[in-house]
Structure 1
Amino acid sequence: MSIQAYQNNSVETASPGELTLMLYNGCLKFIKTAKKAIENHDIEKKNTNIQKAQKIIRELMVTMEQDYEVAKDIMPLYDYMNRRLMEANITNDLGILEEVQGLTEEFRDTWKEVILQTRRVQQGQGGRA
C-alpha cells in the first residue's frame, strides 16, 4: 500500500474525534513550517503555510457543534487564533506564531485526552474483561 493510499484510508476510517485530532496536528505542522520559512526568508512558503493553518482553524469553527456550552468559550479563541495568524502573515512575527502554536497544542492535547477517556468509557460499557 502506498503512503498516499494509507493516508487516504486513515482519513476515511477515522472517527470524528480522530479527524479533529488530525486537523490540530495538521495546523501545527503548517505553523512550524511557516516559522521555518520566516527564518529562511521564504515569504511565499510562509504565506502558503499560514493560509493552510488558517483554513484548518476556519474548518474547526464551521464544524463545531454550537449546541454545547463549551462552544461559546472555544469559538472566540478560534477567531482570535485566526486573526493572530493573519497578523503574523503580515508582520512575519515569529512570536505570534509561537503563541498560536501553543494554543493549538493545548487544544490538541485536551482533545487527545477526551478521545482517550471516551475510549475507556466505551470499553468499560462494552463488557470487555
Structure 2
Amino acid sequence: MFGTMKRGANAYANIGVETGVLAASPHKLITMLFDGALVAIALGKKYMAEGNIKDKGESITKAILIVDNGLRASLNKEVGGELALNLDSLYEYMSRRLFEANATNNPAILDEVHSLLEDIRSAWEQIGPNGQPASMQAAPAPTAAFSQPSFAKA
C-alpha cells in the first residue's frame, strides 16, 4: 500500500544527496564527483565478478557519465591551462578504458581507472578549495583548473 522499505530508504538517501549537493562548495562538488565515480567503479567490479551483466553495465556507465559529464565538463581550460588540458586527456582516456572494461569484462582495467581517480582525488583534497594547500586555507574559492559543475550552476 505504501511501497517497499527499500524504496523509502532510497528516497531518504536521495534527499540526503540532493541536500549535500545544494549545500556544497564547488570544491566539495568535485570531491563528490570523484567519490561517485569511485563507488560506481567498485560496484562495477563487484557485479562483474558476480556475473551480473545488467548491474555491471549500469555501474560502469554511471562511472563514465560522471567522468565525462561531471569531472571533464567541469574543467576550465581557458583558466586552467596545461593542467586542465592534461586532465581533459586523462579523463578521456579513463572513459575509453571504462568502456573497454565493460565490453571485455576486464577487472584489471577497472582497477587501473580506480587507482587513477583515487590519485587525482587525493591531490584535489590536498589542494583545498582556493588552490592552496589545505593547511594554508583562509577562505574558500574555486580553483583555476575547474569551474563549477554545470548541474550546479544557477
| Identical-pair percentage | 33
Aligned-residue RMSD, C-alpha: 1.6
2:137 aligned partner, one-letter code:
V
Q: How does 1:30-45 map to 2 (within 5 A)?
A: 30-45=40-55
Deviation at 1:3, TM superposition (A): 4.2
**In structure 2, what is the equivalent of residue 83 of structure 1?**
96
**C-alpha distance in 2 between matches for 1:11 and 1:35:** 26
Q: How many residues align?
A: 122
Structure 1 residues 91-122: Cα deviation after superposition (integer angstroms, max 9, x where no partner): 00000000000001011111111127357331
Match of 1:98 among 88, 111, 115: 111
TM normalised by structure 2 equals 0.74
* Structure 2: segments with no counterpart, 5+ residues: 1-11, 140-154
1:110 aligns to what? Answer: 123
> Can you list the C-alpha shifts for 1:28-75, whole angstroms capped at 9, x where unaligned?
000000000010000111000000000001021112111212111111
2-structure distance, mates of 1:3, 1:53: 19
TM-score, length-normalised on structure 1?
A: 0.88
Instruction: List runs of 5+ in structure 1 lacking aligned partners.
Output: 124-129
Partners of 2:38 and 2:119 in 1: CA distance: 11
Q: Distance in 1 between matches of 2:35 and 2:21?
A: 13
